Protein backbone atom coordinates (compact mmCIF):
# COMPACT_ATOMS: atom_id res chain seq x y z
CA UNK A 1 0.00 0.00 0.00
CA UNK A 2 2.83 2.42 0.89
CA UNK A 3 4.68 1.49 -2.27
CA UNK A 4 1.62 2.16 -4.44
CA UNK A 5 1.13 5.54 -2.78
CA UNK A 6 4.81 6.43 -3.29
CA UNK A 7 4.68 5.41 -6.99
CA UNK A 8 1.50 7.46 -7.46
CA UNK A 9 3.14 10.50 -5.83
CA UNK A 10 6.23 10.17 -8.04
CA UNK A 11 4.09 9.84 -11.18
CA UNK A 12 1.98 12.89 -10.28
CA UNK A 13 5.08 14.99 -9.59
CA UNK A 14 6.66 13.85 -12.85
CA UNK A 15 3.51 14.74 -14.77
CA UNK A 16 3.38 18.19 -13.13
CA UNK A 17 7.03 18.78 -14.03
CA UNK A 18 6.45 17.74 -17.64
CA UNK A 19 3.50 20.11 -17.91
CA UNK A 20 5.56 23.01 -16.57
CA UNK A 21 8.47 22.25 -18.89
CA UNK A 22 6.08 21.91 -21.83
CA UNK A 23 4.60 25.33 -21.14
CA UNK A 24 8.02 26.90 -21.11
CA UNK A 25 9.14 25.36 -24.38
CA UNK A 26 5.92 25.66 -26.36
CA UNK A 27 6.36 28.03 -29.27
CA UNK A 28 4.17 31.07 -29.24
CA UNK A 29 2.51 32.67 -32.18
CA UNK A 30 4.67 35.36 -33.79
CA UNK A 31 3.08 38.11 -35.85
CA UNK A 32 4.47 40.65 -38.27
CA UNK A 33 3.01 43.34 -40.49
CA UNK A 34 3.81 44.17 -44.10
CA UNK A 35 2.49 46.58 -46.68
CA UNK A 36 2.75 44.82 -50.02
CA UNK A 37 2.35 47.45 -52.77
CA UNK A 38 1.55 45.03 -55.58
CA UNK A 39 -0.63 42.05 -56.43
CA UNK A 40 1.18 38.80 -55.59
CA UNK A 41 0.80 35.04 -55.69
CA UNK A 42 1.22 32.39 -53.00
CA UNK A 43 1.15 28.79 -54.25
CA UNK A 44 -1.18 29.54 -57.17
CA UNK A 45 -3.46 31.92 -55.25
CA UNK A 46 -3.64 35.61 -56.17
CA UNK A 47 -3.65 38.17 -53.36
CA UNK A 48 -4.24 41.89 -53.89
CA UNK A 49 -1.86 44.64 -52.86
CA UNK A 50 -2.43 45.87 -49.34
CA UNK A 51 -1.61 45.64 -45.66
CA UNK A 52 -1.15 42.13 -44.29
CA UNK A 53 -0.59 40.50 -40.93
CA UNK A 54 1.78 37.53 -41.16
CA UNK A 55 1.44 34.93 -38.43
CA UNK A 56 3.85 32.11 -37.67
CA UNK A 57 1.47 29.47 -36.34
CA UNK A 58 2.98 26.90 -33.91
CA UNK A 59 6.27 26.85 -35.78
CA UNK A 60 8.25 28.56 -38.48
CA UNK A 61 7.06 26.03 -41.08
CA UNK A 62 3.46 27.28 -41.25
CA UNK A 63 2.62 30.92 -41.85
CA UNK A 64 -0.69 32.63 -42.40
CA UNK A 65 -1.24 35.82 -44.40
CA UNK A 66 -4.28 37.80 -43.29
CA UNK A 67 -5.32 41.10 -44.87
CA UNK A 68 -5.66 43.98 -42.42
CA UNK A 69 -9.45 43.96 -42.93
CA UNK A 70 -9.57 40.20 -42.27
CA UNK A 71 -11.30 39.32 -45.56
CA UNK A 72 -8.33 37.55 -47.13
CA UNK A 73 -6.56 34.61 -45.51
CA UNK A 74 -3.89 32.50 -47.20
CA UNK A 75 -1.56 29.93 -45.70
CA UNK A 76 1.92 28.92 -46.80
CA UNK A 77 4.36 26.22 -45.80
CA UNK A 78 8.06 26.97 -45.63
CA UNK A 79 11.37 25.18 -45.40
CA UNK A 80 14.21 26.63 -43.31
CA UNK A 81 17.35 27.78 -45.09
CA UNK A 82 19.14 28.73 -41.88
CA UNK A 83 18.49 29.64 -38.24
CA UNK A 84 20.10 33.09 -38.31
CA UNK A 85 17.42 35.47 -37.00
CA UNK A 86 16.93 38.82 -38.68
CA UNK A 87 17.37 41.95 -36.63
CA UNK A 88 14.06 43.70 -35.95
CA UNK A 89 14.84 46.22 -38.70
CA UNK A 90 15.96 43.65 -41.30
CA UNK A 91 12.93 41.36 -41.62
CA UNK A 92 11.73 40.99 -45.18
CA UNK A 93 9.62 39.07 -47.67
CA UNK A 94 11.28 38.06 -50.93
CA UNK A 95 9.28 37.87 -54.16
CA UNK A 96 10.26 36.22 -57.43
CA UNK A 97 9.19 38.07 -60.58
CA UNK A 98 8.28 35.94 -63.59
CA UNK A 99 6.21 37.00 -66.63
CA UNK A 100 5.26 40.23 -64.88
CA UNK A 101 3.82 38.44 -61.82
CA UNK A 102 5.26 38.50 -58.31
CA UNK A 103 5.40 35.21 -56.43
CA UNK A 104 6.20 35.00 -52.73
CA UNK A 105 9.50 33.13 -52.64
CA UNK A 106 10.46 33.32 -48.96
CA UNK A 107 11.55 35.62 -46.22
CA UNK A 108 13.77 36.44 -43.30
CA UNK A 109 12.53 36.95 -39.77
CA UNK A 110 13.05 35.92 -36.14
CA UNK A 111 13.36 32.21 -37.06
CA UNK A 112 15.95 32.80 -39.79
CA UNK A 113 15.61 32.53 -43.55
CA UNK A 114 12.95 30.33 -45.14
CA UNK A 115 11.67 29.51 -48.59
CA UNK A 116 8.12 28.48 -49.49
CA UNK A 117 7.95 24.75 -50.15
CA UNK A 118 6.38 25.34 -53.59
CA UNK A 119 9.28 27.66 -54.48
CA UNK A 120 12.05 25.49 -53.05
CA UNK A 121 12.72 23.82 -56.41
CA UNK A 122 13.54 27.19 -57.99
CA UNK A 123 16.81 29.08 -57.62
CA UNK A 124 16.74 32.14 -55.36
CA UNK A 125 15.66 35.19 -57.34
CA UNK A 126 18.23 37.91 -57.94
CA UNK A 127 18.64 41.15 -59.82
CA UNK A 128 15.59 42.23 -61.80
CA UNK A 129 13.72 39.03 -60.93
CA UNK A 130 13.69 39.87 -57.19
CA UNK A 131 11.67 42.29 -55.04
CA UNK A 132 12.00 42.66 -51.26
CA UNK A 133 9.32 44.06 -48.96
CA UNK A 134 10.17 44.95 -45.36
CA UNK A 135 8.21 43.31 -42.55
CA UNK A 136 7.74 44.75 -39.09
CA UNK A 137 7.58 42.69 -35.92
CA UNK A 138 5.74 44.75 -33.26
pLDDT in tens, the chain (138 residues): 554 444 333 332 333 333 333 333 344 557 899 999 999 999 899 999 999 999 987 677 899 999 999 999 999 999 999 989 888 889 999 999 999 999 999 999 888 999 999 999 999 999 999 999 999 987
Query: Domain limits at 63?
Result: 27-134
CA separation, residue 2 to residues 7, 10, 129 (Å): 9, 12, 73
Would you say residue 63 lies in a domain? yes
Would you say residue 1 lies in a domain? no
Number of domains in the chain: 1
In this structure, what are the phi and psi dihedrals at residue 120, rounded to the nearest 5 degrees? -65, -20
Residue 96 has a CB neighbour count (10 Å cut-off) of 22
Burial of 80: CB neighbours in 10 Å, binned 0-12, 13-18, 19+: middle
Would you say residue 105 lies in a domain? yes
C-alpha 72/C-alpha 93 separation (Å) is: 18
Amino acid sequence: MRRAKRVTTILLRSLALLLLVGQGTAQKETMAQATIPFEFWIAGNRLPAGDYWIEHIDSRAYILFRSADGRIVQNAYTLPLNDNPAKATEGQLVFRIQDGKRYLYGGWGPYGQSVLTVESVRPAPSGDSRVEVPIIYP
